[in-house]
A = this chain, B = another copy of it.
Amino acid sequence: MPPTFSDLSRRNFLKQGIAAGAVGSLATASLAQQLQVPEPPGRKLGWAIVGLGRLSINQILPAFAKCEKSRVVAFVTGSREKGEKLAARYGVNPKNIYNYQTYDALRDNPEVDIIYIVLPNGMHAEYTIRGARAGKHILTEKPMANTPKDCEEMIAEARRANRKLMVAYRCRYEPYNNELIKVSRSGDIGKIRVVLSDHGFNIGDPTQWRLNKALAGGGSLMDIGLYSLQAACYTTGEDPIEVSAMEFTDRSDPRFKEVEDVINFQMRFPSGALAQCTSSYGYAGQSRIRVIGAGGWAELEPATSYTGLRMRVRLGNRTEERDLPQRDHFAAEMDHLSDCVMQNKDVLTPGEEGLRDLKIMTAIYEAARTGKTVKL
């Protein structure tokens, strides 16, 4: 039996008290008394980062400085050297540097509460399943996995282990996208008729894992087009009931031997709202969501970049720019999961949502391949 939430929580709580050399009433209180005490303010859960690539180095590790409930305590990396350098920079104990062979030993490390899987898509399933078996809560990068079947196995394993499983849909945790959701569903712009969403960029190095089918599961859709898909779902608050799609990939381009470049798709929602989405690894950077209602529209552009988001809302004949606080997306999503673990609450973007999206993307690929609308 893996440890339950309360086991872990208790263990960490006790450990923190001891590590800090706490004395007096709290440290000397009975266990029963201690368990009645709520989480002390400032408590942070321990995170292990699996995969020290660019996203981890440039975004995730620096984000811990902005976290209130999360701290980095362990690394899993194929490069001991890189692990040691980053451990020194982020105050991680070198004994907490694991590799892919020793990964399962995280089970015996009570400092680690949550594992953040920042590996190529094709490895998310294995490391989520092994991580849950090691008794840890899991945050996995998007897309959740390469196939719906993998997602189902991940969900089943997390459930068996009684661990939380969350997909790193970071835009759901920052102010601009939340304001867009609020405006879209408020009725201010009227009934939603059409959601436009465009995400893509001109990808470089043909040898990167994102262009390898086995590691990435697919091309632009699995990576960047997923933002378009997500946006249509979270602005409407609905799941699509059918999709159609059109793809263009220049197979003579060395980047696109295995995966798709442009894949544009249409989605129909139960309310009647239609989404019109694009996704590309071959066009100049796009990051845009526009929600068009009967009486106005709301737009983010850039919508999903790490920083610098902008919002415009048009009501009647006036277009207004809305300035909101810019928040670190990674800090926000990590703290959300830490908080849900500490308070045993449901996460906003659970494995079930990742599974839904894999099912939709599978349908989009089928629609593009067959030239037929696919029902979900």
Contact = CB atoms under 8 A, between A and B. Distances in A.
Interface stretch (A46-54, A179-187, A210-218, A277-285): A277-285
Contacts of A194: 198, 262, 264, 278, 280, 283
A296 B246 CA distance: 22
Contacts of A202: 294-295
A274 B262 contact: yes
A370 to B, nearest CB: 9
Contact of A371 (B276, B294, B296, B372): B372
A356 interface: no
Contacts of A245: 244, 266
Contact of A284 (B198, B272, B273, B294): B294
A274 B292 contact: no
A284 B280 contact: no
Stoichiometry, as copies per complex, reads 2
Nearest to A267: B246
Interface string A173-202: 000000000000000011001101010001
Contacts of A209: none
A276 B277 CA distance: 8
Contacts of A198: 194, 196, 292
A312 to B, nearest CB: 11
A370 B86 CA distance: 56
B282 A193 contact: yes
A193 B268 contact: no
A284 B278 CA distance: 21
A43 interface: no
A130 interface: no
A100 interface: no
A278 to B, nearest CB: 5
A359 interface: no
A278 B262 CA distance: 18
Contacts of A371: 242, 244, 372-373
A255 to B, nearest CB: 11
A268 B283 contact: no
Given A202-B295, A372-B372, A193 B283 contact: yes
A295 B372 CA distance: 31
A268 B371 CA distance: 12
A58 to B, nearest CB: 18
Interface string A259-273: 001101010100011
A39 interface: no
Contacts of A264: 194, 266, 274, 276
Contact of A274 (B248, B272, B286, B373): B248
A293 B284 contact: yes
A158 to B, nearest CB: 35
A314 interface: yes
A297 to B, nearest CB: 5
Q: Which 6 interchain pairs have the tightest Cβ spacing?
A: A371-B373, A193-B283, A283-B292, A246-B266, A248-B272, A284-B296
22 contacts: A193-B262, A193-B282, A194-B278, A196-B196, A196-B198, A196-B278, A202-B294, A244-B245, A245-B266, A246-B266, A246-B268, A246-B274, A248-B272, A262-B274, A276-B278, A282-B294, A283-B294, A284-B293, A284-B297, A286-B297, A372-B372, A372-B373
